[in-house]
């Protein structure tokens, strides 16, 4: 008698570091902004592919707190792409069950971008098929500091022992979002770059040389196939994990 198959759970939440837009453009002798424009078009494809594969949460690293230091023409190209994306995609998102949220300190953006963010968030707030979070002017360390500050302000009489993991989690942008199962970074670098530092404690990390503008549905499937081979132990032993995921396991003595 064959053993019941243990189905590796699929990724419920995928986080993406979309790197390599500049190099994609350079290879084609195009300005870096053209790489970002292609990257933005790729975002649409990947969201669609994720929705088709029943991924419920997608988080994209669109602009880090450090990206302000880039040449000003590149920063403004990224800002106008972000605005264009918010304006042009809001209806599609609303009509396709996608809830959009922006993680990060939005007060640094222009009034026009802040208004577009507010409109996109409010008009998609009732959606539940796919939760898309765009990290913009986001930094993982800043997010944690802000969470601690908010908690301390709300609990002025607390002692150090009152502070725990739940206290932080309650004040992160991701408070009602499960931690990422899979983090995909394109563009060949193997680092986290201050993205979702708290949330990626047990995330499977996938690094690929593929540049973001070339990362399509096929590349996503390759990453998901790799994810399916991972055994997620969350600090436990391999034996404990396989017992828990397959409690009715038929041993050869019983079979």
Could you tell me the strand order of the sheet in which 182-185 lies?
98-103, 130-138, 57-64, 13-17, 182-185, 204-207
Token pair belonging to 48:
């669609």
Closest CA to 93 of 114, 122, 136, 54: 122
Residue 98 burial (CB < 10 Å; 0-12/13-18/19+)? buried
Structure tokens at 214: 């070339």
Going along the chain, which residue ranges are E strands?
Answer: 13-17, 57-64, 98-103, 130-138, 182-185, 204-207
Which range in 79-87, 98-106, 226-234, 246-254 contacts ligand FPP by CB under 6 A? 79-87
Site string for ligand FPP, 24-63 (x = CB under 6 A): ------------x--xx--x----------------x-x-
67 is catalytic: yes
Q: Which is nearer to ligand FPP, 131 or 171 (CB)?
A: 131
**Segment near ligand FPP (CB under 6 A), from 81-89, 173-181, 201-209, 229-237?**
81-89
Choose the catalytic residue: 21, 54, 67, 162.
Answer: 67
Name the residue whose CB lies closest to ligand FPP: 22
Q: Which is nearer to ligand FPP, 69 or 253 (CB)?
A: 69
User: What radius of gyration, in Å, describes the C-alpha atoms of the chain?
Assistant: 20
Residue 109 as a binder of ligand FPP (CB under 6 A): the answer is no
Could you say whether residue 82 binds ligand FPP (CB under 6 A)?
yes
Q: 139 near 194, Cβ under 8 Å?
A: yes
- We find the least distance from the C-beta atom of residue 59 to ligand FPP, in angstroms, to be 11
Q: Are 113 and 39 in contact (CB under 8 A)?
A: no
Q: How many chain residues touch ligand FPP (CB under 6 A)?
A: 20
Q: Which of 14, 15, 18, 113 binds ligand FPP (CB under 6 A)?
A: 18
Q: Smallest distance from the beta carbon of 24 to ligand FPP, in angstroms? A: 7
d(C-alpha 80, C-alpha 62), whole Å: 13
* Binder among 19, 143, 181, 204 for ligand FPP (CB under 6 A): 19
Among 218, 217, 223, 221, residue whose Cα is nearest residue 204:
223
Q: How far is the CB of 53 from ligand FPP (least distance, A)?
A: 19
Q: Does residue 67 interact with ligand FPP by CB under 6 A? A: yes
- Give min distance, CB of 15 to ligand FPP, in A: 13
Centre a 10 Å sphere on the Cβ of residue 53 and count the other Cβ atoms it contains. 14
Active site residues: 19, 67
Binding site for ligand FPP (CB under 6 A): 18-23, 36, 39-40, 43, 60, 62, 67, 78, 81-82, 85, 134, 187, 212
């Amino acid at each position: 008698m064959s053993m019941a198959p243990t189905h590796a759970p699929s990724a419920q939440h995928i986080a993406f570091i979309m790197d390599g837009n500049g190099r994609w453009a350079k290879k084609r002798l195009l300005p870096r902004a053209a790489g970002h424009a292609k990257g933005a078009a790729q975002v649409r494809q990947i969201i669609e592919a994720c929705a088709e594969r029943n991924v419920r949460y997608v988080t994209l690293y669109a602009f880090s707190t450090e990206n302000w230091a880039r040449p000003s023409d590149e920063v403004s190209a990224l800002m106008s792409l972000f605005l264009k994306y918010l304006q042009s995609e809001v209806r599609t998102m609303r009509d396709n069950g996608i809830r959009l949220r922006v993680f990060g300190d939005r007060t640094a953006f222009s009034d026009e971008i802040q208004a577009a963010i507010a409109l996109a968030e409010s008009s998609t707030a009732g959606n539940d098929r796919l939760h898309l979070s765009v990290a913009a002017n986001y930094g993982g360390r800043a997010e944690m500091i802000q969470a601690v500050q908010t908690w301390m302000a709300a609990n002025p009489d607390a002692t150090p022992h009152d502070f725990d993991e739940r206290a932080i989690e309650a004040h992160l942008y991701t408070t009602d979002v499960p931690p990422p199962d899979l983090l995909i970074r394109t563009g060949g670098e193997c680092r986290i770059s201050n993205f979702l530092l708290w949330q990626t404690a047990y995330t499977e990390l996938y690094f690929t040389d593929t540049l973001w503008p070339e990362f399509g549905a096929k590349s996503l499937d390759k990453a998901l196939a790799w994810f399916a081979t991972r055994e997620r132990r969350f600090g436990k032993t391999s034996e404990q994990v396989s017992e828990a995921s397959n409690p009715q396991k038929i041993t050869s003595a019983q079979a």
